[in-house]
Structure 1
Amino acid sequence: MAVALGPILKFCGVDDDDVWSVSALVVCGGGEPAPAVLVYDGDKWDAIGAVSLGERRQQKSGYTVWRYRFAIAQKAAQQEIRYTVGSVEYVFMVPPAGGAPTCAYTSCNGFSDAKLMKQVQDKNALWTTMRLRHGERPYHLLLMGGDQIYSDSMWQELRGLKTWAGLSGRERNAAPFPDELRAQVDGFFLENYLERWSQPEVAAMMASVPTVMMWDDHDIFDGWGSYPAEQQASPVYQGIYAIARAYFQLFQLHANAATPPLPLLPNQPGFSYGLRVGGYAILALDLRSERSKTTVMGAAAWHAAYAWLDKQKNCDHLLVMSSIPVVHPDFSTLETLLCALPGRQELEDDLQDHWLSRSHRQERLRLIHRLLDWSAGTGGRVTVLSGDVHVGAVGVIQAQRRDVPANANVINQLTSSGIVHPAPPAMALFYLEHVGARVETVDRGITATMFEFPGTSHRYIGARNFLSLEPDLPQQSAEKRIWANWWVEGEDLPYTKTIHVVK
């Protein structure tokens, strides 16, 4: 039995009986039986049954994707769960019943341009750092906020796409998506997942910490959803999207068309989902399935998200995963200066695809109001987790309302990006710092600001980074704070911000 990829762990939720549910994805050669998976329950090894999620092909190679499910009863203390795939043993940690999970957060796990690789000596250096941190204080969840793979190289690598790109705009929009090209694109996505996620540093973490993933544009291709309507609706674009969607569902959500992902929100066309873990709630918003130049998420998807949100009671912290930052400088001025910037393409892509685009501001405003109202009504603290922009940053939304606790008037946004993708050029970082002090008036009585990192005089981390979210341990403090730590390449100590509960 040859394992081509995996195990990849995914968190499926915890039920009212404190049963911690995890799935494991394993990809093997086609036609081979499912590898034996055993889990140690503290007394004996139990076999876990496999479900086939289907066969996939890449050129002459065939693969079968297998899924396994673990159900772990939480106890009063943290548990170490041992499991084996074939003859290889792995370990993941389960927090105590009702306890707050320790989390890592990442985004941008790749390169938008092959030329950027030349800037990076060790592309997976921060995955190694994360593994070391995991050994010191184990992570219970690995939150991955978008661009888990980068698919952009298909435009240069695939013969059929290069031929298509040589057509005129009108011809491209009308051209069919023939079976030969479909097979090329399908094989590309399969190989991309197998190659990127089987790298030892990445694979070690995905086998050791259950993931919570939500896709962004590069999981499809750069800027997906922000193109003109006719181009977006072309057979080739829609064909690529359908393939990317199937692979996202398969590899990141451990599901297929016949077995919907868990725990998906009902009555929506996309993949938004919500999770409860003790005093934490996690809402992962799908900002790509319905995205257009005028829409981020459709009405049904927002209704599903808000309906789930309204049900979350007795919640200390709500973590909202928004792949695109809700709080970030308005780039309208910078867009006119791009021609003067070296390496401008990587930044330009982000400028045309953000929440502050005029056509998306109403959706953003409604989201901000709903999150502030939820915090005021429930006493839960809201924190937005974001990536995409290839810098680390702290954004703060503040409302002037005197009838609620002070912390219910504040939403922090923690941006971490990227764990592999390098930072923007120095001139772009200089511009960000220059405009970062501006206070945005979101609505009457509501402002948004980029804050300086505590203990520093700058607002942006211009280096690769990942984020850890470490709650107060009960034996150390009863405060229930979150200690947010940005671990930065080349620096021994993290940047730290404390998130307090609403009081």
Structure 2
Amino acid sequence: MLHLRQVDERGVTLAATLVRHVGRKPPVLEADGTQVDPVRLGGAAGATMWRYDFRLPADPAASYQIDGREYRVNTRWGGDLNVAYTSCNGQEHGDLDRPEASRNAMWRQLAERNDRAPLHLLLQGGDQIYADEVTEAHPISRDWPDIDTRPQPASALAELREALRRAFFLRYAFQSAQAGYAAVAARVPSLSMWDDHDICDGWGSLPEDILDSDVGRTLFDVARESFLMFQMGCAPDEQPPVATGSGHLSWRVDAPGVSFVAPDLRSTRRPERVMDDATWRDVTDAITGAPTGHLFLLSSVPALGPRLSIVERLMGLTRRMEKYEDDLRDQWQSRTHRAEWQRFLRLILDRHERPETPVTVLSGEIHLATRGTMDAASGPLHQLVASGISHPAPPTAFARGLGTLARFGEAPLKGHPIRLRALPGRPGIYCAQRNYLMLTRRDGAWAAAWALEKTGLTPELAL
């Protein structure tokens, strides 16, 4: 699995990770005529993860070799670019029991697209795994989130940590080796941000006594270790090279003419906030300090969405709907987060309206494809939603119902109304098909198109 570290017109700095059974010596990697030995990141379940750090020049024939196989990598970032964005790679229950052929159909399509026109980057916007079932690995977490929140004995917590570590490791390793995904991950450098299912459903929006319980903190710690190893290519105690601060996992990567920023909307989330002060400071610095050029902002939860205050008021009328409260709290548009939402929108709007610094927001999470715009003096600020690449599409009726809600409109910033819109060439605001997003730069101009499972690639949308 390839992870992007740094890029410039001369080439790219990469990390490749590899899982091997304990006792099986890891192979040597060769890149640009140099042999690279691995470093150990960690392990569980009788296996070890190794990492190779190396650099490839900006060469159309750039590649690395390992285990007797050659992997071509598109390393020329100075001109035209091909970038893919995905999210929601799984489902809540029985994810790994599904046949690979149907589960990974869109990954195989993306791998074939990469064979025809090699990608420079894979952006993964959240829910790369659905870890909901890992809590079944130990008795004291089995009923999550309906758990005993009282302090647990140290011995029980040690057992829980090892059981969760094994469960996370196996889920990541098994999923990462599946056909389709594996073909992309080995050839296309990735940048990833997590969302709730990479930890557990609704992490951060659940009641604080659950989040801060011994079981809750152990679950979060192990999920973070696993994310760092499998999605960032780092040791559990290592600061990611692309990180913008500590205590959270936000990152920024700059490339010729373009920057990519991903705020961490989970590590410091609580029912009454999305990010703590330190995360806000580092995210603000990352966005305002990015060099001139197009900025793609990964917001794992859509930043431009339908008005939810009506839904929240209706749900408050009956206790039967309380189980969905955390789902609404997850959204930027929740009444609870409105001040933070306005702050977030103002931050990206100020960047968007500066000369030669357009912003495009990339989001997932909702298991539908859609897009939105916010009016700005410099032209519309676009949000592109692609979700999910392997999560089953919801019923068409759900998409229609959400589309009806979206017609109410929203304007959290005065003079900058938000409008949700249909994909190019498609009816309806929301598209209920599995999907991923393609971003292309041609002669300096960016465009986007959605790859839809049933109807193929949409017409391009100029950004």
> So what's the TM-score if we normalise by structure 2?
0.92
SS in 2 for 1:471: strand
For the Cα contact (< 8 Å) 1:164–1:172, is it kept in 2? no
Distance 1:269 1:149 in 2: 22
Structure 1 segment 100-119 matched on structure 2, within 5 A: 100-114=80-94
Distance 1:84 1:349, change over 3 A: farther
Please provide the CA RMSD for this pair. 2.6
- Counterpart selection for 2:274 from 269, 289, 296: 296
Q: Which residue of 2 aligns with 1:194?
A: 173
User: Could you tell me whether the CA contact under 8 Å between 1:108 and 1:420 is conserved in 2?
Assistant: yes
Post-superposition Cα deviations, 1:312-369, rounded to whole Å, max 9, x if no partner, equal 2331x1000010000111334446888xxxxx99987643411111222222211211
Structure-2 residue corresponding to 1:32: 24
3-state SS of paired residue (1:351): helix
Structure 2: distance between partners of 1:443 and 1:335: 20
Amino acid at match of 1:489: E
Residue 274 (structure 1) aligns with:
252
The equivalent of 1:5 in structure 2 is none
1:99-248 pair list within 5 angstroms? 99-114=79-94, 122-156=102-136, 158-162=138-142, 171-176=148-153, 178-248=157-227
Letter of the 2:104 partner, please give it: N
* Residue matched to 2:51: 67
Assess, with a 3 A threshold, how the Cα gap between structure 1 residues 278 and 137 changes in structure 2: closer, same or farther. same
- Once the two structures are superposed, what CA deviation does each residue of 1:288-315 show, in whole Å capped at 9, x if it has no partner? 1101111211111121122232222331
Number of aligned residues: 457
Structure 2 contact 39–51 (Cα < 8 Å) conserved: yes
Higher mean C-alpha displacement, 298-307 vs 207-216? 298-307
Distance 1:433 1:145 in 2: 23
Contact 2:4 2:190 (8 Å CA) reproduced: yes
Q: Is 2:455 aligned against 1:494?
A: no
Distance in 2, Cα, partners of 1:150 & 1:384: 23
Residue 36 of structure 2 corresponds to residue 48 of structure 1 = yes
Relative to structure 1, the CA distance from residue 121 to residue 335 in structure 2 (aligned partners, 3 Å threshold; closer, same or farther) is: farther
**Scaled by the length of structure 1, what TM-score is found?**
0.85
- Give the equivalent residue in structure 1 for 2:358: 381
**Conservation of the 8 A alpha-carbon contact between 1:100 and 1:277:** no
- Partner residue in 2 for 1:82: 63
Report how far residue 412 of structure 1 moved.
0.4
Counterpart residue number, 1:305? 283
Give the aligned residue type for 2:22: G
Aligned position for 1:422:
392
Give the counterpart of 1:94 among 68, 75, 79.
Answer: 75
Separation in 2, partners of 1:124, 1:380: 36
Match of 1:390 among 367, 372, 379: 367
Indicate if the aligned counterparts of 1:117 and 1:123 stay in contact, CA closer than 8 A.
no
Distance across 2 between alignment mates of 1:366 and 1:165:
31
SS across alignment from 1:308: helix
> Any gaps of 5 or more consecutive residues in structure 2?
316-320
Contact 1:120 1:422 in 2 (8 A): no
Q: Choose the corresponding residue for 1:322, options 278, 299, 302.
A: 299
Q: Secondary structure of 1:460's match?
A: coil
The correspondence for 2:6, drawn from 10, 13, 30, is 13
Distance 2:213 2:326 in 1: 20
CA deviation after TM superposition for structure 1 residue 444, in Å: 1.4
Q: Residues 270 and 100 (structure 1 numbering): CA distance in 2 closer, same or farther, change over 3 Å?
A: farther
Instruction: Return the letter of the residue paired with 1:448.
Output: I
SS at match of 1:209: coil
Equivalent residue letter for 2:132: D
CA gap 1:347/1:451 in 2 versus in 1, 3 angstroms = farther
Sequence identity (%)? 32
**CA, structure 1 residues 115+105, in 2 after alignment: closer, same or farther (shift >3 Å)?**
closer
CA–CA separation in structure 2 for the residues paired with 1:389 and 1:188: 26
- What's 1:341 paired with? none
**Cα distance change, pair 490–109 in 1 and its aligned pair in 2 (3 A):** same
1:351 and 2:328 equivalent?
A: yes
- 8 A contact 1:113–1:153 mirrored in 2: yes
Aligned residue number for residue 438 of structure 1? 408
CA contact (8 A) 2:108 2:179 kept: no
Alignment of 1:396-475 (within 5 A): 396-399=373-376, 401=377, 406-407=378-379, 410-472=380-442, 474=443
Residue 36 of structure 1 aligns with an amino acid whose one-letter code is V
Q: Bigger shift: 445-454 or 222-231?
A: 445-454
Q: Cα gap change, 1:303/1:162 in structure 2, threshold over 3 Å: closer, same or farther?
A: closer
Separation in structure 2 between the aligned mates of residue 202 and residue 323 of structure 1, nearest angstrom: 20
> Is the contact made by 2:57 and 2:75 (CA closer than 8 Å) also made in structure 1?
no
- Segments of 5+ residues of structure 1 without an aligned counterpart are 1-7, 339-343, 475-479
